[in-house]
């Protein structure tokens, strides 16, 4: 092998440097260009699909009441109909449970009675609920029991309800 002179070494270095410089310019020019690929024509290409999940179907509407009476309706207008409906319900299902619900529209909160402490005072029960339950609610329960429904199969609840505009008694059968 022949020894390389200094001149040959630098001459080869200059040629290599110019080649390297040309190559770096070519690489620099290529980095400025956007290569054509599948995303050029479709930006969603390669993205995994997202399946459509439909929302849950709406819940079934609540069961309608068997009987619905507006408070204050005279007893002779509804008593025979309530008893007839009770006879029919018992004929279909002898162990049926009759739920009497006394509902009043919600009102402003009732202030605690005078002379009671704020933290020790119990919440006052609205008088409209007491009046409805002891009046029309009790009368409907009595009409059901007069129709032959055992007392153990009649249940009564009283509560405010935003779906009613007037005090109402509803009877549900389970």
Average pLDDT of the segment spanning 114-123: 48
Q: What angle (nearest 5°) sits at the alpha carbon of residue 20, between those of residues 19 and 26?
A: 90
User: Going from the N-terminus, what domains does the chain have, and what CATH number goes with each?
Assistant: 67-108+124-173 (3.30.1330.60)
Q: Please tell me the distance from the alpha carbon of residue 151 to that of residue 145, in angstroms, as a whole number.
A: 6
Q: What is the pLDDT of residue 159?
A: 92
User: Measuring CA to CA, which residue among 79, 112, 102 is closest to residue 160?
Assistant: 102
CA proximity to 96, closest of 170, 158, 172, 147: 172
pLDDT at 124: 41
Write out pLDDT tens, residues 127-173: 889 999 999 999 999 999 999 999 999 999 999 998 899 999 999 99
pLDDT class for 110, splitting at 50, 70, 90? low
At 46, the pLDDT band (50, 70, 90 cuts) reads: confident
């Amino acid at each position: 092998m022949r020894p390389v002179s200094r001149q040959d070494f630098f001459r080869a270095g200059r040629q290599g440097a110019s080649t390297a410089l040309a190559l770096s310019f070519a690489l620099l020019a290529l980095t400025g260009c956007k290569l054509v690929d599948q995303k050029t024509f479709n930006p969603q290409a390669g993205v995994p699909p997202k399946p459509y999940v439909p929302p849950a179907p709406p819940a079934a509407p609540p069961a309608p009441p068997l009987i619905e009476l507006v408070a204050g309706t005279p007893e002779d207008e509804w008593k025979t109909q309530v008893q007839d409906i009770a006879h029919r319900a018992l004929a279909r299902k002898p162990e049926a449970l009759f739920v009497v619900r006394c509902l009043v529209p919600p009102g402003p909160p009732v202030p605690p009675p005078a002379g009671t402490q704020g933290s020790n005072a119990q919440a006052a029960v609205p008088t409209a609920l007491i009046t409805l339950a002891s009046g029309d609610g009790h009368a409907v329960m009595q009409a059901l029991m007069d129709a032959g429904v055992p007392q153990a199969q009649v249940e009564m609840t009283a509560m405010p309800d935003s779906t009613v505009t007037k005090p109402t008694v509803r009877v549900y059968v389970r």
